[in-house]
Amino acid sequence: TAERATLLCQGNSTATHPAPATTTLPALLTAQAAHTPHAPAVEWGDECLTYEEAEARANRLARYLIGRGAGPEAVVAVAMPRSLDMAIAVLAVLKSGATYLPIDTAYPPSRIGFMLRDARPLAVVTTNRTLGELGCDEVPTVLLDDPDTADTIAALSGSDVTDADRVHPLHPLHPAYLIYTSGSTGTPKGVAVPHAGIASLALTQADRFDVGAGSRVLQLASPGFDVSMMELVMAVATGATLIVPPARMLVGEDLAVVLRDQRISHAVMSPTVLGSIPDDAFPDLRTLIIGIEPCPGELVQRWSVGRRMVNAYGPTEATVYVTATGQLSGPEAPAIGGPIAGMRVYVVDGGLGVVPVGVVGELYVAGVGLARGYV
C-alpha cells in the first residue's frame, strides 16, 4: 500500500506542479507581442521580424483565411519550405482558430496525398513553386506569392484577431494542430492535439529549459514532427527568438555551422543528429533537449558538460512530450524522467493496476496535454 501510494504520487505532476490555467496558443502569442513588441521574434538569414511585426503579419493572413471559412474545427494545411513566410503562415492558421496541418514538402507525393485526403483541409497555404511538387489539385490553395492574393492580404487589418472576428469562438479544447504518426506499425493516423496542453508546455519549457528573452531557439525539426511545435512554442510563448535555418536537412558540419554562426542558445534534436556533430566549442548553446529515441550515455557525457541537457519523452498522442528529466550527466543512458506540469504518467498492467518498481508494464498518460483523439 505504501509503495502504491508513492508510485501514484510520483506519477502525478499536479502534486507539486499544478497545471496552469488552460488557454490558447493565439492568446499566448498576443500576450507576448504586447509584452515585448520590439524584441526579435523570428529570424531567417538576414531578415528579422519583431514580435509586433510578426503579430501584424499573422493577423492579416489570419483574417484572409477566416474570409475563406477557416475557424475552429476546420483544418488548414501549410506546405512551404522553411522561411519567414512559413512561420507567419503557421501563426496565422492558429490565430484564425483553425487546426494547423503541417505538410513536409520533402515527403513522397503518396504520403502527402494520403494526408490531404484523410484530413480534408479547407485549404493549403503554399506558393506557386511548391504547389507543383505537392500534387494536390483537389484541395483549394492560398498562394502567398500570387500578387493579387498578397495585395488583398496586405490591405487587411493587422490588429489582434479575436473571437469577434472568428467564425466561431476559439476554446482550449479545440485542436491546435493535426499531426500524423509515422505509420511504422500500419497506416498513419492523424492526431488532433488541442490548445489546452500548450500552456503547460510553455510553462515547463520556461522553467526547465531556462528559455526567455534573449534566447535563440533553433527551428530544426521537420514540420511533419510535433517537435517543430515544441520549438515554436519554446520561442514565441516566452519572448525568445525563433531562428529559422536554410530549407535543407541539417546534420553534421552543416548543423555545427548554424549552431555556431547563429549563436543558438536552445536546440532540440535526436541522439542520431547530435552524434553527427563534430567536436567543437559552442559557447552560446546553453540548453540541449534530446528525445525521439534512446540516448547513449557517451553522448550525455560529451554534451552535458557546461550546459543544461535534458531528455524529454512523449508520444504523438500528446502535446509533444509528457515527461522530462532534470540535468543529465555521467556515462549512464538517461531515463525518460517524470511528468511535466499538468500531466500524469503511470506504468500499469493489463488491468490498469499500477505495477511495482522494476516490473514491466505499459505507460499510460493522462492530463491536460493528452491529445483529443484520432481524426
User: What string of DSSP letters covers 188-245?
Assistant: --EEEEEGGGHHHHHHHHHHHS---TT-EEE--S-TTSTHHHHHHHHHHTTT-EEEE-
Whether 110 has a pLDDT exceeding 60, the answer reads yes
Output the pTM of the full model.
0.91
Place of cell 529515441: 293
State which amino acid sits at residue 133: E
**Which stretch of DSSP H or E encloses residue 143?**
strand 141-143
Weakest-pLDDT range from 102-106, 133-137, 249-253, 293-297: 133-137
The arithmetic mean of pLDDT across residues 316-320, rounded, is 91
DSSP line for 209-223: S---TT-EEE--S-T
> Residue 129 has which C-alpha cell?
513553386
| Per-residue confidence band for 13, with pLDDT thresholds at 50, 70 and 90 | low
The arithmetic mean of pLDDT across residues 145-156, rounded, is 94
DSSP line for 272-341: HHHHTSPS---TT--EEEE-SS---HHHHHHHSTTSEEEEEE--TTBSS-SEE-S---SSSPP---EE-T
Find residue 76's DSSP bridge partners: 100, 123
The CA distance from 128 to 70, in Å, is 21
pLDDT at 155: 96
Weakest-pLDDT range from 30-44, 128-142, 241-255: 128-142
pLDDT at 136: 67
- pLDDT tens-digit readout, 251-294: 889 999 999 999 999 999 999 999 999 888 889 999 999 988 88
The arithmetic mean of pLDDT across residues 191-202, rounded, is 88
Region label for 352, one of left (φ > 0), alpha (ψ between -120 and 50) or beta (otherwise): left
pLDDT at 18: 58
Of residues 198 and 96, which shows the higher confidence score?
A: 96
Specify whether the CB–CB gap between 313 and 291 falls below 8 A.
Answer: yes
| Per-residue confidence band for 187, with pLDDT thresholds at 50, 70 and 90 | confident
The CA distance from 166 to 94, in Å, is 11
pLDDT at 15: 56
Specify whether the CB–CB gap between 264 and 284 falls below 8 A.
Answer: yes
Q: What proportion of the chain, given as a percentage, has pLDDT over 90?
A: 55
The arithmetic mean of pLDDT across residues 60-79, rounded, is 96
The arithmetic mean of pLDDT across residues 136-162, rounded, is 91
Find residue 265's DSSP bridge partners: none
In three-state secondary structure terms, 354 is: strand
The CA distance from 295 to 284, in Å, is 22
Task: Give the CA count within 13 Å in the CB-facing half-sphere of 226.
Answer: 29
The CA distance from 166 to 159, in Å, is 13
**Which stretch of DSSP H or E encloses residue 28?**
helix 25-35
The arithmetic mean of pLDDT across residues 207-236, rounded, is 90
The CA distance from 1 to 7, in Å, is 10
The arithmetic mean of pLDDT across residues 321-338, rounded, is 89
Whether 245 has a pLDDT exceeding 80, the answer reads yes
**Which stretch of DSSP H or E encloses residue 260?**
helix 252-261
The CA distance from 35 to 135, in Å, is 42
Whether 247 has a pLDDT exceeding 70, the answer reads no
pLDDT at 85: 93
Of residues 25 and 15, which shows the higher confidence score?
A: 25
What CATH number labels 2-374? Answer: 3.40.50.12780
